[in-house]
C-alpha cells in the first residue's frame, strides 16, 4: 500500500545524534581523568618529587575541567532551545536522571576547576594574564584543612558523573540496549580507561619534565585491568539482552549483525578499543617495557575505542529496538 | 460576529516551512500579491454550506477561527453524513489560501501551453471573450462553441448563457463519470435509482470503492451494513479499501464485469431464484431478457471474467436468498468496460429480478416534491417546489448537437441535453462527426479539467490547439487552464453563495447550496456573477434578471420565505417521512402522516410503481438493436500487455489536486501497483523507477509491489502526472489518461478506463 | 472525581482515509512538515481463508498512565494534567529531547516553530475547552475513533470498552496507554 499518511521524516529514530555521543565520551573522560589524577596523587609517594608535580596529576587537572566544559557546551548547543537551557538550573524533576546529572555536574564542574587552579598555582602566579586568579587561589587555600575531604568527595562525584552518563541512557525503557544496569558500569569503566589514556597522552606531550615512569607503568597496569573488565561487561550487556528475549533479543541480534553499526562494533569497539590495546600490552609493552612511542599509540587506540563505544551505544541503541 | 485575521499572522502560526517562496510566478495568483492584501473577513459562527472539494457535495459548516483560519466540519443536522468530512473536505482552507489560486483574470500572451500570461482586468477579459464569441458566431455560427460545465451549480449559469448566445452544445462532465448508470436508471426505472446500503444484508460490489472514492454518506452506510453483519462481496482487480473490508474479494479481470453479471443473471433465471410475483406484477420484458441471457451460463462466462462458475452460482444463490435486503451495486465511475450501457443495465435489472426495489435494504426511487406530491391527497400539505425565474426564450438553432441528442435516431437519447457527451468535443474539433455538418471551434470550460480527466490526452491537446477560443473558469491554473486563452478566477466554495437545490432520497429534500463563510479573496468572482456580467457585455443581460444569488433564491422559493430562512440557518430540510412504496410498514407510516394518500394504497397495503420496470428497452432496440443484453468480447490489450486500471485515492480529487499542500504532503506521487510475480518477470523491485507505456504514451512512476492485485494488471491512483508545469506538485507520477484510448461507449458515450500497457525498469 | 480521558481506535471501522490527520492539522495549526497523527495502512496481510486485509495503525500519543516522557523530563516541562492528558509546557522546555527518546510510541516530534516537542494533546488547547470532541474524532467518516471520560461509566467510551475487546500497543512496557485499539476482527488478532 502506498504510504498515504505523509512523510516519515519526523520518525527518524536517531533522536540523540553525534553531539550526545561526544558529550557522553567527554563526560566519561573527564570523570576518568580526574579519578586517575587523584589516584596518582594519593598513591604514588615513593618518588623524590611531590606527586602534585606528577605529569599525570597535571594532565588530569587540566583534562577534567576542559573536557567537561567542552562537553557541556556541546550539549547545550545541541538543545533544540539552547537559550532556554537555564531552566535546567531552576526547574528540577528528581525522577529524571538528567536532573540528577545536572546537580552532579553543578557540584563537579566548579571543584575540578578549583583543583586545576591549585595544581597550576605556580604557573598562574608566573603568568601576568592570570593574575586576577591569585586572590581566588588565596581564598580557596584558606580552606586547606578540608583538602583531603574535598579530594575524596571529588573522587566520589567523579564516579557519579562517570556512571550517570550510563544511567542517562539506561533510564530509557524503550531501547533495550540502553535499558540495562550494565550500561552505567560499562560507561564508568570505559571512562576510566579513557581517562588513563588521555592523561598519559597529555602528560607525555605537554608535561615531559615531570613524567614519572613509575606512575605511567602503574596506570598501564591499571588500564589493562579496566579493559579486561570491559570485555565481560559488554558480554553481559548482550547476553542480558538475549536472555530477556522478545524485542531485546531481536535488537541484540540486529545490533550485532546488521549494517554499518555492527561493523563499528566488531572492528571499532571490540577490535580497536579492546583487542588492539591488549595485543600492544602483551607484545610491545610486555613486562612493563617503557616505550614512549608504543605507549602513545596504545593510549590513542584506547581513546578511539572508547569514543566508538559511545557512538555505537548511542546509535545502535536507538536504531535497533527490536520493533 | 466578523473576525479579521491577518494572513501573515496566520502563516507565522501555521506554516513552519518556507513553502511559499518562489511559487508565485504566474501573474494573477494569490502568491503574487502583497501580504497586506491577504486578509479575510468571515463569520466566527458556523455557517452551513456544501463542500466542493469534490462533487460528492457533502453538507458542511465552517467558521473563521480567531487567529487561525477556517475550520470545516460536517453539518451535524445532516443525519446521512453524521457531521463528518473526509481528508479533502477538511483541507478546504488550504485551498482558500493556496498561493497558487487565481485571483485575477489572466490572458495568454505566448503559444497555447507555453505558460506566458498577463494579468488583465475583468472588463478586458469580458471584452476579449465577447469579441471572440461574436467573431466565431459570424464566421462559423454560435453552435460551433461547446460549453462544458461540471454538474451542479455552475452548470445552471453557463448552460443558460450558452443557449442565450445560441449554442445547443452544452455539456456536463457525466460522460467521463456516471452517465451510463443514469441512463440505465432512466431506461429501466424511469428515473435514477437510490441504494439503501445501510439496511442491506447482502451487497455485490463491482469496483465501487466508497472507502477511497469517498462519498461520506455511502461510506457510512456501507460501514453500518458491515457492522450489522451484512455480507459484502467485492469484485475488483485489485485490493481496494472496499475489497479489504469486504467479506469476500474476487479479483475479476479488468473490463470483464459484464460476463459476470450476465452469468449471475442467468443463474437467477435458470435456477428460478428470481421473484416471480414481483416480476410479473411490476416488470415488463422479462421473456425478452430471459432469451437474451440464455447463452451466458456461468460455465461459458467464467473464462471471460476469470471468476469460476461455482462461485458465480454460489453468489447468485446467496444473493437471492438475502433478497429483498440485497443490493447489486451499480457503481459510481462507470468507465470500466467497453459496454457500459449493457453492464449498468444488467446490474440494475438484477435488483428488479429479485424484487428488491422500493424495499428496505434494496433500491429505491428518489422522491422529489413532484413524485411525492403526486401521491398526496388534496388536503395533505404539499412539499414545496422550487421555481425557475422567468427568462426570455433562447434563439432557435437549426443544426443538431455534436452528440445529436434531440434527434430522433440519436444513440445517446437517454442522456439529457444538460449532460450530453462532452467527450465528443475534442473529437468534433478535429473532425466532423457522422451526421454533424460542422466542427467545434471554441470551448468554454467551467469547473472541468479535460486535459487531466478525459481519456486520451493527445486527442484533447490536439483539439484544444485547433480551436479558435478556449476559455477556462477555475479557481486555479489547472492543466486545462494552462492551455486556455483566458482564465477567469472563480471564488472557492467557501467564498460564495449559491442557489437552492432540491432533490429527494426516500422523501423530498432541499439544500441551501453554498453560503459564504469568508469574503472573496482578491478579484475572484462567483460563477453566477461571471455569467451575468459576461452576458451583459455580450448584450444578453435580459437573460439574467436577478440582482444576486439572494434575489435568485427569493425567486426560487416564491412566497415561501420561511423555507429560505430555515435553509439558511440549518443548511438543509426534508419534507414528510421516508417512503418505500413496496414496504407495508413504510406505506402505513406515510398514510398516517398524509391521510389523503390512502387512495393510492393497493389491497396489499403497498403503493404501485408509477411506471413498470423495463427489462427490455424498445427504444434502444429501435435505435441501435441493443434492447436486450448481450456480451461482445472487446480487445482491451495485446497478449503481451498488462491491463492498466486506475482509481481514486482517499486524499486526492480527480485531476484537481496538484496545488493542495496538505493533501500532497500526504500522498505526493501515486505508485504503480504490480504483483510481485509480474515484477519478477520484468526485473522490477519495490520502489524502482519504471515506465508504463503503450502506443499512446509513456509515463514514469515508481513501482509498488503488492499481492493485492492481479498478476496481469497494473493499477495506479488517478490524478497524478499533471502536465501544467506551474502546478505546485506537477509532473509526479502517472497521467492515466495519456494511456487510455480515445473511445466513445456505444449508447452511453462513456470514456474507457481500461487499456493494455507494458512496463519496464528505467 | 477527576476525568480520565481516553480514546478508542477501532481498526474494523477505520478506512485509513486520513481525514483525522487533516482535521488535526487544521484545528491545531500543525506546521505542514509534521504530524501529531498519522494512520498507517499496513499490509496487505493474507488471512488463512485466502482473503486479504489491511491493518490500520494509529500513530500518535497514546497518553500513557505511566509516562516515560514525564519521568525523564529534567525541567518538568512534560507533565500530565488533572484529566490524564500528557502535555508539554513549551515555556520551560529546554529541547533536550530526552522525552522524545523515552517515548516508546514515537509520538513526539520537534515543532519547527516552538522548537519544543509537540504531540497529540487530545485537543485540550483547541477544543476540549469549548466542550467539543477532539478534531480527529469529530470528522472521522466512519466513527472509528471514540473519545471520552473512562471514569464516567455512562460515557460512550466506557460503554464501548465494556462491549468490545481492546488491546494496547506495546503493552509489555507497562505504560498503560489510554489509547485502546479494537483489533481487526477479520484479522483475528484477538476476537
Ligand atoms: N483516467 C481517468 N479519468 C477520469 C477518472 C478516472 O478515475 N480515471 N475519473 C472520472 C470522473 S469519476 C470524473 S467525475 C471526472 C472529473 O473530471 P472534472 O470534472 O474535470 O473534475 P475535477 O478534476 O474534480 O475538477 C475539475 C476542475 O474544477 C476545478 N474546480 C474545483 N473547484 C472549483 C470551483 O469552486 N470553481 C471552479 N470554477 N472550478 C473549480 C478544479 O481546479 C479542476 O480544474 O474525471 C473522470 N476522468
Ligand atoms: N477521495 C476521492 N473521493 C472521491 C473522488 C475523488 O476524486 N477522490 N471523486 C468522486 C467522484 S467524481 C466519483 S465518480 C467517485 C468514484 O468512486 P468509485 O467509482 O467508487 O471509485 P474509483 O476509485 O474511481 O473506482 C472504483 C474501483 O474500480 C476498480 N476498477 C478499476 N477497473 C475495474 C474493472 O474493470 N472492474 C472492476 N470491477 N473494478 C475496476 C478500481 O480498482 C477501484 O477500486 O468518487 C467520488 N469520491
Ligand atoms: S467526499 Fe469529502 S471532499 Fe467530497 S464533498 Fe464530501 S467531504 Fe467534501
Ligand atoms: S478519519 Fe477515521 S477512518 Fe479515516 S483514517 Fe482516521 S480513524 Fe481511520
Ligand atoms: S525536550 Fe523539553 S519536554 Fe522533553 S524532556 Fe527535554 S525539557 Fe522536557
Ligand atoms: S505515548 Fe509517548 S508522549 Fe505520549 S504519554 Fe506515552 S510516553 Fe508520553
Ligand atoms: S486528539 Fe486532537 S491533537 Fe490528538 S490527534 Fe486528535 S485532533 Fe490531533
Ligand atoms: Mo465522478
pLDDT digits (tens, 9 = 90+) for A271-305: 999 999 999 988 888 877 788 999 999 999 999 99
Q: CA B450, B454, B457, B463 torsion: positive or negative?
A: negative
Distance CA A193, CA A36 (A): 9
Asked if B241 reaches chain A (Cβ–Cβ under 8 Å), the answer is no
Integer angstrom CA distances of residue A254 from A176, A306, C169: 12, 21, 22
Q: How far is the CA of A257 from the centre of ligand 6 (A)?
A: 30
Q: Which atom of ligand 6 approaches the CA of C119 most closely?
A: 3
User: How far apart, in whole angstroms, are the C-alpha atoms of residue B215 and residue B59?
Assistant: 11
pLDDT of residue B42: 80
Residue B632 CB burial class (10 angstroms; 0-12, 13-18, ≥19): exposed
**What pLDDT is attached to residue B39?**
56
Q: What's the confidence (pLDDT) of residue A317?
A: 97
Q: CA of C184 to nearest chain A CA: how many angstroms apart?
A: 17
ipTM computed for the complex: 0.94
Mean pLDDT rounded to a whole number for chain C: 94
Interface contact flag, B91 C53, Cβ < 8 Å: no
CA distance linking residue B478 with residue B472, whole number of Å = 9
| Protein residue with least CA distance to atom 43, ligand 1 | B656
HEC readout, B345-362: HHHHHHHHHCCCECCCCC
Residues making up chain C, counted from first to last: 191
> End-to-end distance of chain C based on CA atoms, in angstroms?
33
Which chains touch A (3+ CB pairs under 8 A)? B, C
Q: Does C111 touch chain A (CB under 8 A)?
A: no
Q: Please indicate, yes or no, if residue C88 is contained in any of the structural domains.
A: yes
Q: How far apart are CA B541 and CA B544, in angstroms?
A: 6
- For a substitution probing ligand 1, which of B175, B655, B660, B737 has the most ligand atoms within 8 Å of its CB? B655
- C20 ligand 4 Cβ < 6 A: yes
pLDDT per residue as tens digits for the range A93-135: 999 999 999 999 999 999 999 999 999 998 899 888 888 888 9
Better pLDDT: A55 or B332: B332
User: Closest residue (by CA) to atom 7 of ligand 7?
Assistant: C24
Best of C24, C39, C106, C116 to substitute, by most chain A Cβ atoms within 10 angstroms, is C106
- Domain B179-364+610-624, CATH number (from 3.40.50.300, 3.40.228.10, 3.40.50.800, 1.10.3720.10): 3.40.228.10
- Give the tens place of pLDDT for each residue, A225-259: 999 999 999 999 999 999 999 999 999 999 999 99
Q: C35 CA to middle of ligand 7, Å? A: 10
CA closest to C38 among chain B residues: B666
Q: How far is C158 from chain A (nearest CA, A)?
A: 29
Which CATH architecture group holds B642-761? Beta Barrel (2.40)
Q: Using CA positions, which residue lies closest to atom 2 of ligand 6?
A: C103
Q: From the CA of A30, how far away is ligand 4's center (Å)? A: 52
Whether the predicted pLDDT of C52 surpasses 90 = yes
- Chain A nearest-CA distance from C174, in A, is 10
Q: Which residue of C has its CA nearest to B86?
A: C19
Ligand 4, residue C23: give the atom nearest the CA. Answer: 1
Closest ligand 6 atom to C175 CA: 6
Helix (H, G, I), strand (E, B) or coil at A192: helix
Decide if B649 touches A, using CB distance below 8 A. Answer: yes
Distances in Å between the alpha carbon of C58 and those of A148, C109, C169?
59, 16, 10
Identify all chain C residues contacting A96, using CB atoms and an 8 Å cutoff: 71-74, 98
Q: How far is the CA of C97 from the centre of ligand 5 (A)?
A: 5
The domain locations on chain B are 7-97, 179-364+610-624, 642-761
Say whether residue C114 is in contact with chain B using an 8 A CB cutoff: no
CATH superfamily of domain region B7-97 = ADC-like domains (2.20.25.90)
Q: Which segments of chain C are extended strands (E)?
A: 5-10, 38-46, 52-59, 78-80, 86-88, 109-110, 117-118, 145-149, 179-182
Q: B286-340 pLDDT, tens per residue?
A: 999 999 999 999 999 999 999 999 999 999 999 999 999 999 999 999 999 999 9
Atom of ligand 2 nearest to the CA of B331: 19
Tell me what pLDDT residue B521 has: 85
Chain A residues touching C96 at Cβ < 8 A: 79-80, 88, 98
Out of A1, A2, A6, the one facing B665 most closely (by C-beta) is: A6
- Dist. CA B368–CA B385, nearest whole Å: 9
Which of B743, B704, B711, B701 minimizes the C-alpha distance to B643? B711
Rounded mean pLDDT for each run of 10 residues along chain B, 762 residues in total: 34 36 66 56 88 93 79 90 95 87 94 93 98 98 97 88 98 97 98 97 98 97 96 98 96 98 98 98 98 97 98 98 98 98 98 98 97 96 95 97 97 98 98 97 98 98 98 96 97 94 95 92 94 98 96 93 95 96 97 97 97 98 97 98 98 93 92 97 96 97 96 97 85 93 98 98 95
Q: How many angstroms separate the alpha carbon of residue B655 from the centre of ligand 1?
A: 5
pLDDT at C49 over 50: yes
Cross-chain residue pair C100–A15, CB shorter than 8 Å: yes
Verify whether the Cβ–Cβ distance A7 to C33 is below 8 Å. Answer: yes
Which residue has a Cα nearest atom 8 of ligand 4?
C14
Residue of A nearest to B673 (CA): A1
Between these two residues, B22 and C2, which has the higher pLDDT value? C2
Residue nearest atom 8 of ligand 3, based on CA coordinates: B89
Q: How far is CA A219 from CA A61, A198, A212, B737, in A?
A: 16, 11, 11, 77
Which residues sit with their C-beta closer than 6 Å to ligand 3? B 51, 53-54, 56-58, 85-86, 88-89, 214-216
pLDDT at B546: 96
Crossing angle (nearest 10°) for helices B257-270 and B298-305: 160
Percent of chain A with pLDDT over 70: 97
- pLDDT computed for residue B1 by the predictor: 28
Q: Looking at beta carbons, which residues of chain C come within 8 Å of B216?
A: 141
Q: What is the mean pLDDT of chain A?
A: 92
- Note whether C21 and C38 are within 8 A (CB): yes
Task: State the smallest CA–CA distance between residue B239 and chain A in angstroms.
Answer: 9
Binding site membership of C107 for ligand 6 (Cβ less than 6 Å): yes
Q: Rounded to a whole number, what is the distance in Å from the CA of A245 to chain C's nearest CA?
A: 12
B200 contacts B223 by C-beta, under 8 angstroms: no
Distance, C-alpha A161 to centroid of its chain: 9
Gap between the Cα atoms of A166 and A160, Å rounded:
10
Confidence of residue A3 (pLDDT cuts 50, 70, 90): confident
- Structural domain boundaries enclosing C151: 5-182
pLDDT digits (tens, 9 = 90+) for C64-113: 999 999 999 999 999 999 999 999 999 999 999 999 999 999 999 999 99
What does the alpha-carbon distance between residue B367 and residue A266 come to, in Å, rounded to a whole number? 77
Q: Directed axis angle between helix A18-43 and helix A292-319, to 10°? A: 140
Task: Please give the helix or strand (H or E) that residue B509 lies within, else none.
Answer: strand B508-511
Q: Do C26 and B69 touch (CB under 8 A)?
A: yes
Spatial contact of B463 and B429, defined as CB atoms under 8 Å apart: yes
Peptide bond into B324 cis (omega under 30): yes
Quick one: chain A helix, strand, coil %, rounded to 5? 80, 0, 20
A45 CA to centre of own chain: 26
How do B145-149 and B442-446 pair as beta strands?
A: parallel
Residues 6+ apart with CB under 8 A from B723: B451, B452, B457, B479, B482, B730, B735
The response to whether residue C78 sits with its C-beta less than 6 Å from ligand 6 reads: no
Cα(A96) to ligand 7 centroid in Å equals 27
Please, is A138 exposed, middle or buried when counting C-beta atoms within 10 Å of its C-beta (0-12, 13-18, 19+)? exposed
Q: Which CATH number fits domain A3-319: 3.40.50.720, 1.20.1250.20, 1.20.1630.10, 1.25.40.10?
A: 1.20.1630.10
Cα–Cα distance for residue pair C42/C61, rounded to 1 Å: 19
Which pLDDT band, with edges at 50, 70 and 90, does C191 fall under?
very low
Q: What is the per-residue pLDDT for A49?
A: 56
Query: Is residue C23's pLDDT more than 50?
Result: yes
Write down the pLDDT at residue B731. 73
Atom of ligand 7 nearest to the CA of C30: 8
Residue among C174, C139, C167 nearest C57 (CA): C167
CA-only gyration radius of chain B, Å: 26
Q: Where does C114-169 have alpha helices with state H?
A: 135-139, 156-163
Q: What is the DSSP letter of C124?
A: T
Please tell me the number of Cα atoms within 13 Å of B414 on its side-chain side. 33
Q: What is the pTM of this model?
A: 0.95
Q: What is the pLDDT of residues A178-221, one digit of tens each?
A: 999 999 999 999 999 999 999 999 999 999 888 888 888 889 98
Starting at the edge strand that comes first in sequence, how are the strands of the sheet with B486-489 ordered? B117-119, B106-108, B486-489, B469-474, B442-446, B145-149, B170-171
Q: Which residues of A touch C41 (CB under 8 A)?
A: 1, 4-5
For ligand 3, pick from B50, B52, B57, B58 the residue to mutate: most ligand atoms within 8 Å of CB.
Answer: B58
Helix H or strand E encompassing B216? helix B216-227
Q: Is the peptide bond before C44 cis (omega within 30 degrees of 0)?
A: yes
Residue A173 has a pLDDT of 92
Please judge whether B244 and C33 are an interchain contact, meaning their C-beta atoms are less than 8 angstroms apart: no
Provide the domain count of chain C: 1
CATH of the domain at C42: 3.30.70.20
Amino acid at each position: 500500500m502506498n504510504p498515504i499518511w505523509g512523510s516519515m521524516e519526523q520518525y527518524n529514530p536517531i533522536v540523540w545524534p553525534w553531539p550526545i555521543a561526544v558529550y557522553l565520551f567527554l563526560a566519561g573522560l573527564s570523570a576518568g581523568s580526574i579519578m586517575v589524577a587523584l589516584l596518582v596523587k594519593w598513591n604514588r609517594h615513593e618518588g623524590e618529587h611531590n606527586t602534585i608535580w606528577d605529569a599525570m596529576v597535571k594532565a588530569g587537572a587540566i583534562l577534567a575541567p576542559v573536557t567537561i566544559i567542552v562537553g557541556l557546551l556541546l550539549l547545550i548547543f545541541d538543545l533544540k532551545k539552547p537559550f532556554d537551557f537555564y531552566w535546567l538550573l531552576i526547574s528540577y524533576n528528581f525522577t529524571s536522571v538528567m536532573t540528577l546529572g545536572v546537580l552532579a555536574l553543578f557540584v563537579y564542574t566548579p571543584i575540578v576547576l578549583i583543583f586545576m587552579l591549585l595544581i597550576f598555582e605556580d604557573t598562574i602566579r608566573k603568568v601576568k594574564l592570570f593574575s586576577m586568579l591569585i586572590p581566588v587561589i588565596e581564598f580557596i587555600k584558606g580552606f586547606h584543612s578540608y583538602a583531603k575531604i574535598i579530594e575524596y568527595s571529588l573522587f566520589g562525584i567523579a564516579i557519579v558523573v562517570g556512571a550517570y552518563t550510563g544511567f542517562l541512557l539506561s533510564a530509557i525503557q524503550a531501547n533495550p540496549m540502553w535499558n540495562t544496569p550494565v550500561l552505567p558500569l560499562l560507561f564508568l569503566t570505559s571512562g576510566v580507561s579513557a581517562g588513563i589514556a588521555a592523561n598519559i597522552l597529555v602528560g607525555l606531550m605537554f608535561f615531559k619534565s615531570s613524567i614519572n615512569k613509575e606512575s605511567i607503568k602503574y596506570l598501564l597496569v591499571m588500564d589493562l585491568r579496566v579493559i579486561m573488565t570491559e570485555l565481560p561487561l559488554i558480554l553481559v550487556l548482550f547476553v542480558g539482552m538475549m536472555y530477556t528475549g522478545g524485542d531485546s533479543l531481536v535488537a541484540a541480534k540486529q545490533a550485532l549483525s546488521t549494517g554499518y553499526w555492527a561493523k563499528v562494533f566488531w572492528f571499532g569497539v571490540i577490535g580497536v578499543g579492546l583487542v588492539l590495546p591488549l595485543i600492544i600490552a602483551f607484545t610491545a609493552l610486555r613486562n612493563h617495557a617503557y616505550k614512549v612511542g608504543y605507549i602513545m599509540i596504545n593510549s590513542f587506540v584506547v581513546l578511539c575505542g572508547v569514543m566508538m563505544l559511545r557512538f555505537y551505544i548511542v546509535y545502535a541503541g536507538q536504531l535497533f529496538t527490536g520493533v | 460576529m466578523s473576525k479579521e485575521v491577518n494572513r501573515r499572522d496566520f502563516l507565522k502560526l501555521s506554516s513552519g516551512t518556507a513553502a511559499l517562496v518562489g511559487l508565485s510566478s504566474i501573474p494573477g495568483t494569490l502568491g503574487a500579491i502583497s501580504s497586506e492584501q491577504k486578509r479575510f473577513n468571515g463569520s466566527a459562527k458556523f455557517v452551513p454550506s456544501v463542500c466542493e472539494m469534490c462533487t460528492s457535495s457533502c453538507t458542511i459548516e465552517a467558521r473563521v477561527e480567531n487567529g487561525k483560519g477556517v475550520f470545516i466540519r460536517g453539518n451535524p443536522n445532516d443525519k446521512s453524513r453524521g457531521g463528518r468530512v473526509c481528508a479533502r473536505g477538511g483541507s478546504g482552507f488550504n485551498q482558500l489560501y493556496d498561493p497558487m489560486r487565481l485571483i485575477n483574470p489572466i490572458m495568454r500572451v505566448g503559444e497555447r501551453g507555453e505558460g506566458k500570461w498577463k494579468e488583465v482586468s475583468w472588463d478586458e477579459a469580458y471584452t476579449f471573450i465577447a469579441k471572440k464569441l461574436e467573431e466565431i458566431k459570424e464566421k462559423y455560427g454560435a453552435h460551433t462553441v461547446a460549453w462544458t460545465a461540471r454538474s451542479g451549480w455552475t452548470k445552471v449559469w453557463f448552460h443558460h448563457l450558452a443557449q442565450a448566445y445560441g449554442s445547443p452544445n452544452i455539456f456536463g462532465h457525466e460522460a467521463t463519470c456516471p452517465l451510463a448508470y443514469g441512463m440505465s436508471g432512466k431506461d429501466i426505472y424511469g428515473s435514477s435509482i437510490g441504494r439503501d446500503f445501510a439496511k442491506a444484508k447482502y451487497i455485490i460490489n463491482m469496483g465501487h470503492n466508497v472507502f477511497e472514492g469517498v462519498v461520506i454518506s455511502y461510506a457510512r452506510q456501507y460501514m453500518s451494513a458491515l457492522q450489522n453483519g451484512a455480507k459484502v462481496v467485492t469484485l475488483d482487480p485489485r485490493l481496494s479499501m472496499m475489497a479489504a473490508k469486504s467479506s469476500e474479494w474476487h479479483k475479476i479481470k479488468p473490463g470483464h464485469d459484464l460476463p459476470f453479471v450476465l452469468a449471475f443473471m442467468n443463474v437467477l433465471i435458470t435456477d428460478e431464484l428470481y421473484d416471480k410475483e414481483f416480476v410479473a406484477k411490476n416488470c415488463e420484458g422479462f421473456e425478452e431478457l430471459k432469451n437474451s441471457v440464455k447463452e451466458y451460463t456461468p460455465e461459458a462466462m467464467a473464462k471471460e471474467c476469470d471468476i469460476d462458475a461455482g462461485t458465480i452460482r454460489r453468489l447468485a444463490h446467496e444473493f437471492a436468498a438475502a433478497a429483498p435486503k440485497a443490493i447489486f451495486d451499480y457503481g459510481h465511475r462507470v468507465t470500466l468496460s467497453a459496454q457500459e450501457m449493457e453492464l449498468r443495465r444488467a446490474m440494475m435489472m438484477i435488483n428488479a429480478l429479485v424484487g428488491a426495489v422500493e424495499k428496505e435494504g434494496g433500491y429505491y426511487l428518489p422522491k422529489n416534491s413532484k413524485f411525492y406530491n403526486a401521491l398526496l391527497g388534496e388536503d395533505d400539505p404539499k412539499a414545496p417546489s422550487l421555481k425557475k425565474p422567468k427568462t426570455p426564450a433562447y434563439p432557435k438553432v437549426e443544426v443538431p448537437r455534436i452528440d445529436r441528442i434531440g434527434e430522433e435516431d440519436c444513440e445517446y437519447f437517454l442522456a439529457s441535453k444538460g449532460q450530453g457527451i462532452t467527450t465528443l468535443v475534442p473529437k468534433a474539433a478535429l473532425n466532423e462527426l457522422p451526421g454533424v455538418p460542422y466542427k467545434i471551434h471554441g470551448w468554454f470550460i467551467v469547473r472541468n479539467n479535460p486535459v487531466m480527466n478525459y481519456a486520451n490526452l493527445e486527442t484533447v491537446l490536439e483539439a484544444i490547439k485547433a480551436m479558435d477560443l478556449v476559455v477556462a473558469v477555475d479557481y486555479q491554473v489547472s492543466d486545462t487552464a494552462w492551455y486556455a486563452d483566458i482564465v477567469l478566477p472563480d471564488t472557492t466554495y467557501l467564498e460564495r453563495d449559491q442557489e437552492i437545490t432540491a432533490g429527494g432520497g426516500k422523501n423530498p429534500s432541499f439544500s441551501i447550496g453554498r453560503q459564504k463563510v469568508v469574503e472573496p479573496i482578491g478579484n475572484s468572482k462567483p460563477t453566477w456573477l461571471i455569467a451575468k456580467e459576461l452576458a451583459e457585455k455580450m448584450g444578453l443581460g435580459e437573460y439574467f434578471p436577478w440582482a444576486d444569488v439572494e434575489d435568485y433564491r427569493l425567486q426560487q422559493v416564491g412566497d415561501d420565505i420561511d423555507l429560505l430562512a430555515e435553509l439558511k440557518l440549518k443548511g438543509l430540510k426534508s419534507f414528510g417521512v421516508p417512503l418505500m412504496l413496496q414496504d407495508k410498514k413504510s406505506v402505513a407510516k406515510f398514510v398516517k402522516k398524509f391521510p389523503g394518500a390512502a387512495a393510492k394504497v393497493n389491497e396489499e397495503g403497498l403503493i404501485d410503481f408509477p411506471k413498470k420496470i423495463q427489462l427490455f428497452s424498445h427504444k434502444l432496440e429501435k435505435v441501435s438493436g441493443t434492447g436486450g443484453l448481450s456480451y461482445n468480447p472487446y480487445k482491451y490489450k495485446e497478449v503481451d500487455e498488462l491491463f492498466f486500471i486506475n482509481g481514486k485515492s482517499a486524499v486526492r480529487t480527480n485531476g484537481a489536486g496538484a496545488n493542495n499542500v496538505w493533501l500532497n504532503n500526504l500522498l505526493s506521487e501515486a505508485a504503480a501497483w504490480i504483483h510481485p510475480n509480474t515484477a519478477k518477470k520484468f526485473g522490477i523491485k519495490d520502489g524502482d523507477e519504471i515506465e508504463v507505456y503503450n502506443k499512446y504514451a509513456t509515463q514514469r512512476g515508481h513501482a509498488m509491489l503488492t499481492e493485492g492485485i492481479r498478476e496481469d494488471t497494473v493499477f495506479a491512483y488517478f490524478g497524478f502526472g499533471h502536465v501544467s508545469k506551474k502546478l505546485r506538485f506537477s509532473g509526479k507520477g502517472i497521467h492515466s489518461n495519456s494511456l487510455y484510448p480515445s473511445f466513445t461507449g456505444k449508447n452511453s458515450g462513456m470514456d474507457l478506463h481500461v487499456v493494455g500497457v507494458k512496463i519496464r525498469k528505467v | 472525581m477527576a476525568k480520565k480521558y481516553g480514546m478508542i481506535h477501532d481498526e474494523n471501522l477505520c478506512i485509513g482515509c486520513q481525514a483525522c490527520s487533516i482535521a488535526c492539522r487544521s484545528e491545531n495549526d500543525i506546521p505542514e512538515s509534521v504530524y501529531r497523527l498519522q494512520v498507517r495502512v499496513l499490509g496487505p496481510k493474507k488471512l488463512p481463508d485466502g482473503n486479504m486485509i489491511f491493518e490500520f495503525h494509529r500513530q500518535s500519543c497514546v497518553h500513557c498512565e505511566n509516562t516515560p516522557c514525564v519521568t525523564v523530563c529534567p525541567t518538568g516541562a512534560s507533565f500530565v494534567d488533572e484529566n490524564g492528558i500528557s502535555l508539554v509546557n513549551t515555556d520551560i522546555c529546554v529541547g533536550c529531547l530526552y522525552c522524545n527518546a523515552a517515548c516508546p510510541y514515537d509520538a513526539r516530534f520537534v515543532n519547527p516553530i516552538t522548537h519544543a516537542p509537540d504531540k497529540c494533546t487530545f485537543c485540550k488547547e483547541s477544543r476540549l475547552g469549548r466542550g467539543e470532541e477532539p478534531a480527529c474524532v469529530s470528522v472521522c467518516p466512519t466513527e472509528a475513533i471514540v473519545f471520552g471520560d473512562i471514569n464516567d461509566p455512562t460515557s460512550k467510551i466506557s460503554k464501548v470498552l465494556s462491549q468490545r475487546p481492546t488491546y494496547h500497543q506495546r503493552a509489555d512496557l507497562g505504560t498503560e496507554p489510554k489509547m485502546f485499539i479494537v483489533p481487526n476482527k477479520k484479522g483475528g488478532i484477538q476476537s
